[in-house]
Amino acid sequence: MRSPWEVIKKPLVTEKSMAKQQKSVYTFIVAPESTKPEVKNAVEKAFNVKVREIRTVRVKGKLKRMKNMLLEGRRKGWKKAYVTLKEGFRLDII
């Protein structure tokens, strides 16, 4: 079993994710090979909260042009998880 910090890489802090925190939905960047039960256990152990729901999304890397638009490259893909907490639980990420 992996440690919680191997599964959870870091919280995703954007305007959209900060707005969702009002509804107890928190967004994390997670390991690409992690599963929903692993993410749930990692969040519960790391932050001492109870999780109601987990939704995961794989984000494809964007195409980027380099060296005066002669070469094309691609950013790495990553995985994010939307974690909904049960009522009465909060996280202080920032």
Among all chains, which residue has been given the structure tokens 């959209």? 16
Residue type, 52: R
Asked if the structure places residue 50 within a domain, the reply is: yes
Asked if the structure places residue 33 within a domain, the reply is: yes
Taking only the tens place, the pLDDT of each residue in 70-84 is: 888 899 999 999 999
Asked if the structure places residue 94 within a domain, the reply is: no
Q: What is the CATH number of the domain that holds 70?
A: 3.30.70.330
Tally of domains within the chain: 1
Cβ neighbours of residue 93 under 8 Å, at least 6 residues apart? Answer: 11, 13, 21, 26
Taking only the tens place, the pLDDT of each residue in 51-70 is: 999 999 999 999 988 877 78
The DSSP bridge partners found for residue 11 are 28
Domain that holds residue 12: 4-85
